Amino acid sequence: MTSEGGSGKPFVVLGVSAGIAAYKAIEVCRRLVDAGVHVAPVLTERATRFVGRATFDALASERVQIGLWDEASPIPHTRLGQSADLVVVAPATVDLLARYAGGFADDLLTTTLVATAAPVLVCPAMHTEMWEHPAVQENLDTLRRRGVTVIPPGDGRLAGGDVGTGRLADPSLIVATVLEMLGRGEAVGAGDLDGVRMVVSAGGTREPIDPVRFITNRSSGKQGHALAAAARRRGAEVVLVTSSALPAAQGVEVDRVETAADMEAAMLHRAEAADVVVMAAAVADFRPKEAGTSKMHKSDGVPDLVLEATPDILAELGRRRRPGQVLVGFAAETEQLSDRARAKLASKGVDLMVANDVSAPAVGFDHDTNEVTIFGADGSMFPVALRTKDAVADAILDRVSALLSPS
Ligand code: CTP
């Protein structure tokens, strides 16, 4: 990790683009400085219409920079990009995300983003209609694929009195994520999972009723895909067995599956050569006993759907696992979280059970954030407070890493 002027402090570039939420970046700046971080603020030209540079000048560790030609040095973008341990952009507007995803370097902030090799965190804030626009979502997918961490906006009141998704994430969540990314930067960079063979399952399975209908659940696959990406970043050889259409991170081998039966076949096969197996998928518990081979028609009347249980893949993996293989399960609960998670941990024979209360706000199915408790077969319990699914993935992998190389 680099540090500013040998002070030992981590060096963070705080990018601020032109949105109403720019005032919240002042709070992010203050809290990071309080936490012992060297903060170098970089505002876009238009951000100065929302917040004054004097405020950042007073609170940050160095003066605000805006243009490419502010510093005495002719190449300030290289200094910032090279010095940074992390770049955080809060708020990130539609325009900033588009320019960053497109590889533009037309101001100091985008130039720093393109010039840095440090981890990058972006915190979008915008109106709901803009957030939902495919161009914005595709730009974010592109950035995620390149390893950028995204803290999605929350719900609430927006500029102009509208209500919806688009509010900048809470400054405390942004600060906690920055500190966490800095704190584990070295472990991640050092490749603590170098050469570890890992299989991760993700997504909700689809159990056909007929060729056009199926039974499924609310799982998006985001947590499983985040785990695969994080494991790859940390040096593991990763196979992702997924029923989700989400993209997989670069370097991850993917088996696309649909049904519980497909997933069972892929997982049992892939697990044979794996050091670590993670069942993050939400496998359907029931499936139609017989799927129609042609479309059912209304005119035939309401069908009597007869269901049967699907195989419990995790329990089977538990029975078959080799000595030394680490097995991780997930428990999605709405009540009695710890009792149920511990019971599943024991009955399925796993080392770690990652439990989340899927009825809590911003947790579980389809959210970009999660809050979990990791239960260990040794009786341990690690609560992981609300954070991005990328950061939760790293917290889970920290536990896996500890099991692989006990100190
Ligand atoms: N799981 C599995 N095969 C199934 C059902 C679940 O491998 N047919 C795995 C999930 O991937 C998860 C763990 O078992 O890692 C727990 O899943 P969960 O749905 O929470 O529990 P269930 O075993 O389905 O029990 P219940 O329905 O009582 O909650």
Domains, the chain:
11-182 (3.40.50.1950), 197-404 (3.40.50.10300)
Say if ligand 1 is within 6 A of residue 281 CB.
yes
| pLDDT of 336 | 93
Contacts of 293-297 with CB under 8 Å at 24 or more apart are 293/210, 293/211, 294/210, 294/211, 295/210, 295/211, 295/212, 296/209, 296/210, 296/213
Specify the DSSP class assigned to residue 281: S
| pLDDT of 76 | 66
| The ligand 1 atom nearest the CA atom of 333 | 20
| CB of 33 closer than 8 Å to CB of 60 | yes
Q: Does 315 score more than 60 pLDDT?
A: yes
CA of 312 to the centre of ligand 1 (A): 7
Q: Does 190 score more than 70 pLDDT?
A: no
> Which residues are CB-contacts of 169 (< 8 A; sequence separation ≥ 6)?
90, 123, 151, 152, 153, 154
SS3 306: coil
Q: Does 70 score more than 80 pLDDT?
A: no
| CB of 241 closer than 8 Å to CB of 260 | no
Position 2 confidence tier, pLDDT thresholds 50, 70, 90 = low
Say if ligand 1 is within 6 A of residue 200 CB.
no
Position 163 confidence tier, pLDDT thresholds 50, 70, 90 = confident
| pLDDT of 138 | 95
Q: Does 7 score more than 70 pLDDT?
A: no
Say if ligand 1 is within 6 A of residue 263 CB.
no
What share of the chain has pLDDT > 70, as a percent? Answer: 94
Say if ligand 1 is within 6 A of residue 344 CB.
yes
| pLDDT of 72 | 62
Position 220 confidence tier, pLDDT thresholds 50, 70, 90 = very high
The more confidently predicted of residues 158 and 213 is: 213
CA of 166 to the centre of ligand 1 (A): 33
| pLDDT of 189 | 40
Q: Does 5 score more than 60 pLDDT?
A: no
Give the pLDDT mean for 379-385: 90
Give the pLDDT mean for 107-123: 95
CA of 344 to the centre of ligand 1 (A): 8
Say if ligand 1 is within 6 A of residue 317 CB.
no
Structure pTM? 0.68
Give the pLDDT mean for 196-207: 98
Say if ligand 1 is within 6 A of residue 283 CB.
yes
Instruction: State how far the alpha carbon of 101 is from the alpha carbons of 86, 165, 186, 199, in Å.
Output: 18, 22, 26, 30
Position 352 confidence tier, pLDDT thresholds 50, 70, 90 = very high
Give the pLDDT mean for 72-82: 74
| pLDDT of 6 | 54
Q: Does 184 score more than 60 pLDDT?
A: no
| pLDDT of 185 | 39
Say if ligand 1 is within 6 A of residue 285 CB.
yes
The more confidently predicted of residues 165 and 181 is: 181
Position 249 confidence tier, pLDDT thresholds 50, 70, 90 = confident
Give the pLDDT mean for 58-75: 81
Give the residue, out of 344, 345, 348, 353, with the most ligand 1 atoms within 8 A of its beta carbon, to mutate for a pocket test.
344
CA of 293 to the centre of ligand 1 (A): 28
Condensed to tens digits (0 to 9), the pLDDT of residues 203-213 reads 999 999 999 99
| The ligand 1 atom nearest the CA atom of 332 | 20
Q: What is the mean pLDDT of the chain?
A: 91
* Residue 139 known to be catalytic: no
Position 359 confidence tier, pLDDT thresholds 50, 70, 90 = confident
Say if ligand 1 is within 6 A of residue 314 CB.
yes
Whose CA is closest to 93, among 81, 105, 101, 82? 101
Position 158 confidence tier, pLDDT thresholds 50, 70, 90 = confident
| pLDDT of 186 | 39
Lookup: tokens for 405 = 């190389």
Whole-number Å distance between alpha carbons of 100 and 111: 9
CA of 284 to the centre of ligand 1 (A): 8
Q: Does 157 score more than 80 pLDDT?
A: no
> If you take atom 12 of ligand 1, which residue's CA is the nearest one?
330
> If you take atom 18 of ligand 1, which residue's CA is the nearest one?
331
| The ligand 1 atom nearest the CA atom of 348 | 14
Give the residue, out of 314, 319, 326, 354, with the most ligand 1 atoms within 8 A of its beta carbon, to mutate for a pocket test.
314
Whole-number Å distance between alpha carbons of 45 and 149: 24
| pLDDT of 43 | 97
| The ligand 1 atom nearest the CA atom of 330 | 15
CA of 162 to the centre of ligand 1 (A): 40
Q: Does 100 score more than 90 pLDDT?
A: yes
CA of 282 to the centre of ligand 1 (A): 7
The more confidently predicted of residues 260 and 382 is: 260
| pLDDT of 187 | 39
Say if ligand 1 is within 6 A of residue 312 CB.
yes
